[in-house]
Structure formats: structure tokens, C-alpha cells
Amino acid sequence: MSFDSFNPAPLKPRLRLFVIGVLVFSLLSTLLARLVYMQVLSSDDYSQAATENHTREVLIPAPRGTIVDAAGRTLVGNRVSLVITVDRSVLAKLPDDQQQAMLIRLAKVLGQKPADLKARTMLCGEPGASKPPACWNGTPYQPIPVAKDVSEQVAIEVMERREDFPGVAADSTALRAYPAPYGVNAAHMLGYLSPITTTELDALDKAGQDSVGHRSDLVGRAGLERTYDAMLRGSPGVKNVIVDAVGYTTGVQSQTAPVPGSTLVTSIDARVQASVEKELRGAIMTARKQFDPVTKRKYVADSGAAVVMDTKTGQIVAMASYPTYDPGVWVGGISQRELDALYSPGSGTPLLSRALQGQLAPGSTFKPITTAAAMANGYSTKTKLDCSSNFVVGNRKFKNYESASYGMIGFDQALAISCDTFFYRIAYDLWLKEGGQSGNIDARDPIVEMAKKFGLGRPTGIDLPGEVSGRIADRTWKKEYYDAQKDYYCKLADNPPAGTSSFLKQFSREFCVDGYRYRAGDAVNFAIGQGDTTLTPLQLATAYSALSNGGILWEPRVAKKVIGPNGKAKVIPSKIAARLPVPAATLHYIDKALKETARTGTAAWKFVGFPLDQVPVRAKTGTAEVYGKQTTSWLASYTDRYAVVMMLSQAGTGSGAGGTAVRHIYETLYNIKPAAPPAKKAGQR
């Protein structure tokens, strides 16, 4: 065969087949390699992803830690409550008409309105849902509690009729409980719980602390519950639930138990706390039956507070505020009506802790501070000044409270009988020496300086939230107040509305011209705890504790130690805030003078028959005048171990309103058999 006769056409199909075969082999090899990679090398990753796709993590709240008093008596604990729950996963599988029928049946058993029950089964934020706490603020992957503290009969009825109540179950849960040993309330110290907010959850997420915050969590909102919330809350457990493609729960994959919260041991003595609460309320109720001798009207006695402090450690033994509230009202959710009442001025704003947040002029209880300042600036124990019935400053006459005149006396007697004009003279003298009404806000003021060294004008640092600082109305404060109020008072002076009192007209005119000046009247008022200076009962108790213990200003503490779930205790140490720059001799002199208040002075009529030789009580009464209101009653006192301070707003004189109550508190502290004091004599306050 010749070369010309060769035909290559038959080779082309074979080549194509070969190329196609290579391509097919390459593709199969690639797919096989990918399959091996996915099935063998990456199987764990895909298995985990697949698992995560059908499981959801649910946090299990830890049992909250208890709060106990110094003797181990439970102040706040937990109790078991029967709860009816509804599983949304089961409920969602029912036709709408069957859902509605079931909710109507359940509402009848629970004694609720069907609309309210339906609202509780809806997630907060979803269309048609009510606002918290009516809606469910927790995870949709766990049963929703719709009724708490149900009876056993209701729980049994629901469980026995499962066919009528699909997805409904009876379970037990822990709720906050208040055993109230000796009948104590202590609400302002203990605080309360409420659901965590979305804002707080977002903050926890940003801080990388999502494990400690969950939509259904309860957190401390006030008192010890808030300050020590993290310790009391514990660590939640985790339950991984299995869900189907629609998101309904079908089972539990794994679960870890929560770690209970720690036990908080406080310095509170429930026995003393009960006495303080009883005496405070009793003093207010008694004051409301008495008449103001000037206006002839009954005292309003709208609020009050009392503090008992261990002067050697700074620990709070008891503290009460009136009016108070029931912390149990928050358990299981609070209604809007109840919430409004707690914030309502008409009901006395019960949430306000007067011990920490009540800012009032201290009256004559301020005089020991003035004494310390005077003795550091030219005066001595030998000083004698006229306790006249009045003291004239400019065109104004400043009187003793009851216009009594005692002649030339020393600091000791001036403190015991609470002579105002004695301290007016000192304040006026120091005011003149330091520049008078020059308008220099940087002028030195010895009494102001001493007040600040006693801790006034700033929070004490107690381990409770919400404490206020009070106010020292010195030259700087007056200038700042003038700058802020000048326009208002100048306008009032130029065009006073009809009905404006003559006093307010004159005050507005004077204030508009030079209200920034620290006048002699400001100085003498400051020296006896009057005017614009305010403090809290706790601040005064801290100051008087320093008089008792030799000059140590403590940061008050309510918590003593924390006991973890493992039984190990961590002590919360006392902390010294400052030391008074007052010589021991001066403190001893003031101490001796204040002993006479209970023996022969303004509080003596309340301590007749009390064993003052065995339990020497040092005291100072105070009757603070308040423009437009009745006088504030103060009684500040201490022994070698305790400081007891009582304040009663619009309740009369210092000893008259609170003297008997303070005496009874000391009888409780020292286990003294009570003896009723005699009636008040003329001239006593």
C-alpha cells in the first residue's frame, strides 16, 4: 500500500475518547479527594456544625445565696414555689382554635383572665407582646412560668388532665423569701430583685460576660442584693436542648449543674434591728398625736431614720427608715400599681432610704464639731461666754431656741444645755477674723474645715448603693448657688406674682444684689447646724462614732464576710476613712460634756432611772428649723461601744420626739429592763 493511500480519519474518534476519559478520571479523582477530605479529614468540624444546627443552649439559674445576720439568722433566703409552666414548642403545634381553647381552660383553673395568660406566653419584643413583666423575657427554648405559688390542688389538677393541657406542667422553683426573724423588715438594707434589662444584657455581651447574664435572670436592684449581686448570684448551669427544623424542643442533649451563690453574713443583729424599727415607728406615731407649741397644730412626722453603729469597727448593727416597704412585693413580678405606690410622694416615697438619702439640717447635733473647731482656733476649756437669750447680728436678732438665758458659761455647759447664743458669738468672731463678708470665696473658715474633717459633705462609703453626700453650705457653695439662681430671684424681685410673701420679696431683692456674699447670718447659722447645710443620719452616726472611739472615722459596713459554696469564708474588712485632727484632750472634754446632756442637760428627762453609771450615754439633742415646715428632731448619742442616731422629720424637739425611743434602743443593746421616764419639765427640749 502506498503512502498516498493512508487515511488518518479513524484516529480522531479514539483521541477524543482518550481526552474525555482523562477528563472524566480527573473529575472523579477530584470529587473523590474532596469526599475523602470532607468525610475523613473534616468530619469533626462538620459534625460539630451539624450538632450546633439542631441544639440550643439554655442557662440554668443558680440558687441565689442567702443573707444572714451576725448570729446566722436568715434575713433573705429561698423558698420552694409550685409553678405552672407552658411549653411554647408544644403550644405552637396546636391549631389556633385549640390553642385558644386550652388557654381558656388553663386560665379558669389558675383564676386568671385568658388575655393575661396569653400575654405571659408571648416573648417580649415579638409582635403583639405586652411590656415586661407581662411578657416572657427569657429564652423561648424552655417552659414559660405563667403562675407562681399555686396550690397543690391546682398542680394536681393540671397534671392529672394532661390531655386537656398539652404542653402545660407543674414544677417547683426557688423564689426569694424573707423569714423576718423577730419580725424585722430591713428592706432598705436588704434590697430586692427584678429582671435583667436588655441594656444590661448588651453591656454584659460587650464585656464578654454573656455567661453571667441571661434574659430570664433576676438581678439585685437595691441594698445588699445589688452591692453583692455577683457573689449572691453564683454561676448558672448549661442545658443543651435539641430542637427540630422549626425550632421546637424535642429533647435534652447534655446538662451541667449550676453552682449556688455564696452566703452573705452581715453585721446586722436582728434582735436590735427589730427594736430600732419598732421604736422608730412608735416615735413617729407618738409625734403625730402631739401639738406644735407655736402653731398649735399636730406634728406631721412624715418620715424618719435611725442608725446603730459599732463605734469600734464601723459595722452597722441596725438601720431603719420610715416609711418602709415589703421587699417581698417584688417576688414573682410587681404590678404597675404597686410600683407607682413605692415611688409616690403621697405614700411617703417608701423606696427612699432616709438613713442614706435623707438630707436635713442637723441642728444642735452639729455643736460638738463647732466646739472642736473653736478649740483649734484660739478658744479653750477655760473660755466663758454669755449665754444670753439672744444675739444681734446687724439688724437681725438670733435667739436661743426657747429664749433662755444662763449667763457666763463654758463649752461644757453650752453643749449640755444646747445654748445657741454661746456658739453664735464664736462663729461671729471667727467670721470677722477671716474677712467677714468680703466676698472672697477663698477666705478661711475654721468651722467649715472641721466639718469636712468630720466627714460631712461627702458619702461615708458604706457598702450600700444610693448614698448621698449631703451639703456643706460654705462660701464656695453659696457662690455656685448664686450663679445658678440669680436670674430667677432677680426676676422675682422685679415682678413678684400676686400672693408672694413679704419675706420672699425681701429675700429676692437682697439675693439679686449680692446673694453670693457669705454673711454673718450664714456663719452663725452654720455653727448651730442651721441654714443650708444638710447631712444624713448615717453621716452623723459616723461622726459621733469618731467621738466615741478616739477620732477614727470608719467607712460603715453592713457585710462582714462571704461564705462560698465550698464553705470557705472571705472576711470583708473594716476600713478607716480618716482620723480626726482633734487632740485627745479636746475629744475627752467634749465627751465629758456630752455625758451631762443625759444627766442634767436637754435629754436628762428622758434618761431618768436609766443606769448611766453602768452605761454612760453621751448625747446631743437637735431641733432644726426648716422654712415652711415643722422642726426636724435629732438625737445623736453614743456609748463606749455603740452610736445611736435618730432623726424624725417634722416631729418637734430633739429629746421630746426621739428621746424615749433612743433610750429603749439602748435598753435592748445592753439588755436593761425598761423603765418609763417621767413627763417633760418646762424648759427641756
d(CA 181, CA 273): 10
> Alpha carbon of 110 to those of 12, 101, 107, 171, 330: distances in Å?
87, 14, 5, 15, 20
Mean pLDDT value across residues 432-440: 80
- Omega prior to 323 cis, within 30 of 0: yes
3-state secondary structure at position 516: coil
Distance CA 34, CA 278 (A): 81
Distance CA 481, CA 470 (A): 15
467-519 pLDDT, tens digit per residue, is 999 999 999 999 999 999 999 999 999 988 988 888 888 889 989 988 888 99
Specify the pLDDT at position 47. Answer: 52
pLDDT at 11 over 60: no
Q: Are strands 552-555 and 385-387 parallel, antiparallel or unpaired?
A: unpaired
Q: How far apart are CA 618 and CA 62, in angstroms?
A: 48
CA 362 to chain centre: 22
Tell me if 82 sits within 8 A of 170, measured CB to CB. yes
Least confident of 163-167, 454-458, 536-540: 163-167
**Cis amide bond preceding 195, omega within 30:** no
Confidence band of 211 (pLDDT split at 50, 70, 90): very low
HSE toward the beta carbon, residue 61, CA cutoff 13 A: 21
Cα-based distances in Å from 380 to 428, 493, 583: 17, 45, 12
Q: For residue 327, give the DSSP letter.
A: G
Instruction: Give the closest residue to 148 by CA, choosing from 131, 164, 165, 133.
Output: 133
3-class DSSP state of 649: strand
For the residues 377-387, what does the mean pLDDT come to? 96
pLDDT at residue 628 is higher than 80: yes
**Please, what is the Cα angle at 657 between 654 and 658, to 5 degrees?**
75
pLDDT of residue 69: 98
* Residue from 409, 413, 424 nearest 374 by CA: 424
Average of per-residue pLDDT values in the chain: 87
- Say what the pLDDT of residue 126 is: 83
Three-state SS at 100: helix
Q: What is the pLDDT of residues 152-178, one digit of tens each?
A: 899 888 888 888 898 898 888 888 999
